[in-house]
Amino acid sequence: MKIGRITLADPTISPEDKWGEEIEKQVARVFEERSEFVRVLVHDRAELKAALLRLSDQEQCPLVFTTGGIGPGPHDIAPDVTLEIIERELPGFGETVRHYSFHRGPVALLSRAVAGVRGTSLIVNLPSRPKAVYGCMKLLREAMVECIEQLRGVRYDLHTDPIVIPVEKWLPFLKRFRVKPDPRWE
């Protein structure tokens, strides 16, 4: 399976691409099928738009990830460009990224991550820190797989290791929305 991975170059940080490496590790943990990555480094809005269009329309990548560029700064353009080109937004992805990140610090409220569908491609904006990429990918993986299976009408062979999310992470969320947790979880 061909997967697009776009890294937004930020002149204020190191050019090392540790974020993208984490995406590749997480994808390898999900799909049994060997994945081929199309790696793109972009520097501005026009390059990002061209890369997203090429990866979704010409390369036909079922998954396209962007890393970095989801904050409020002047170089943070990933959400804006993504919203320009997608056909349908999937707000649950961005909400999950912010929810995961918020437990690590309230600056997560500055995240503008979005996701959506273009043709048969799912495009997802991810944070720029490897630990955040790891955590978000763990939470998003089942939804990502389900989405691309629905878009493409194919089933993918997946690794069977279960996603384990500690209950103490979800209890406050459940209680906040008045979902009655199973007493065994307490």
pLDDT in tens, 105-155: 778 789 999 999 999 999 999 988 888 888 888 889 889 999 999 999 888
The residues spanned by each domain of the chain are: 2-158
Round to whole Å and give the CA distance between 167 and 169: 5
Our CA dihedral for 170, 116, 122, 105, rounded to 10 degrees, sits at: -40
Under the banding of pLDDT at 50, 70 and 90, the label for residue 92 is very high
pLDDT in tens, 35-80: 889 998 898 999 999 999 999 999 999 999 999 899 999 889 999 9
The arrangement of secondary structure in 2-158, i.e. its CATH architecture, is 3-Layer(aba) Sandwich (3.40)
The answer to whether 114 and 52 have CB atoms below 8 angstroms apart is no
3-state SS of 127-174?
CCCHHHHHHHHHHHHHHHHHHHHHHHCCCCCECCCCCCCCHHHHHHHH
The model carries a pTM of: 0.81
Round to whole Å and give the CA distance between 53 and 23: 20
